Amino acid sequence: MLFITPRYIKEAKHYLQGARKFLSYKRDILPQDQVEKVESRISELVEAMGSRRSDSVQKAIHELDALIGKISPPPKDAAWRENVEVFLVAIVIAAGIKAYILQPFRIPTGSMQPTLFGIVGTPTTTPPPNLLVRAFEFVWLGRHYIDLKAKEDVVVIDLHERTYANFFTFTDIVCRTRVGKKEIYWLFVPSKPLADHFQVLPGKEYKEGEAIACGHMDTGDQVFVDKVSYNFVKPATGDVFVFKTTGIAEIERQQYRTYSQSARQSGVVPLEFTEYMESVGSQHYIKRLAGMPGQTLRIDPPRLFVNGNVPQQFVFQRVMSEKNGYNGYSNMARLGSPDATYKVPADGYFALGDNSYHSSDSRVWGSVPERNVAGRGLFVYWPFTSRWGLIR
Give me the DSSP letters along 206-249: E-TT-EEEEEEEEPPPEEEEE-SGGGTS---TT-EEEEE-TT-H
Tens place of pLDDT per residue across the chain (392 aa): 345 778 888 888 888 888 888 888 888 888 888 888 888 988 998 888 888 888 888 998 898 888 888 888 766 666 677 777 777 777 777 777 777 788 899 888 889 999 999 988 999 998 899 999 999 999 999 999 999 999 999 999 988 888 876 667 899 999 999 999 999 999 988 888 899 899 999 999 999 999 999 999 998 899 999 999 999 999 999 999 999 999 999 998 988 887 788 777 667 788 888 888 877 777 899 999 999 999 999 999 999 999 999 999 999 999 999 999 999 999 999 999 999 999 999 999 999 999 999 999 999 999 999 999 999 999 999 999 999 999 99
Cβ neighbours of residue 228 under 8 Å, at least 6 residues apart? 100, 101, 375
CA distance 34 to 114: 73
Would you state the pLDDT for residue 33? 87
Give the residue among 103, 259, 125 at the shortest CA–CA distance from 191. 259
User: What pLDDT, on the 0 to 100 scale, is given for residue 165?
Assistant: 66
Start-to-end CA distance of the chain, whole Å, equals 60
The answer to whether 291 and 344 are in contact (CB under 8 A) is yes
Question: What pLDDT score does 1 carry?
Answer: 37
Bridge partners, residue 286, by sequence = 242
At 2 the pLDDT is 41
Q: Is 227 exposed, middle or buried (0-12, 13-18, 19+ CB in 10 A)?
A: buried
DSSP SS3 for 382? strand
- Name the superfamily (CATH) of residues 222-246+282-390: Umud Fragment, subunit A (2.10.109.10)
Strand partners, 124: none
CATH of 7-71, one of 1.10.8, 1.10.3470, 1.20.1270, 1.10.10: 1.20.1270
Residue 370 phi/psi, 5-degree rounding, is: -55, -35
What was the pLDDT predicted at 99?
72
Residues 122-161 as b or e (16 or more Cβ within 10 Å = b): eeeeeebeeeeeeeebeeeebbbbbebebeebbebbbbee
Q: How wide is the angle at C-alpha 385 spanned by C-alphas 384 and 386, nearest 5°?
A: 130
Residues 6+ apart with CB under 8 A from 238: 288, 289, 290, 311, 313, 315, 316
* Residue 257, strand partner residues: none
Phi and psi at residue 120, to the nearest 5°: -125, 125
Identify the CA nearest to 190 among candidates 214, 175, 171, 217.
171
Rounded Cα–Cα distance for residues 224 and 212 (Å): 35
**Burial grade of 164 (CB within 10 A; 0-12, 13-18, 19 or more):** exposed
Q: Where are the domains of the chain?
A: 7-71, 126-134+144-216, 222-246+282-390
Closest CA to 115 of 367, 381, 380, 383: 380
Query: What count of residues does the chain have?
Result: 392
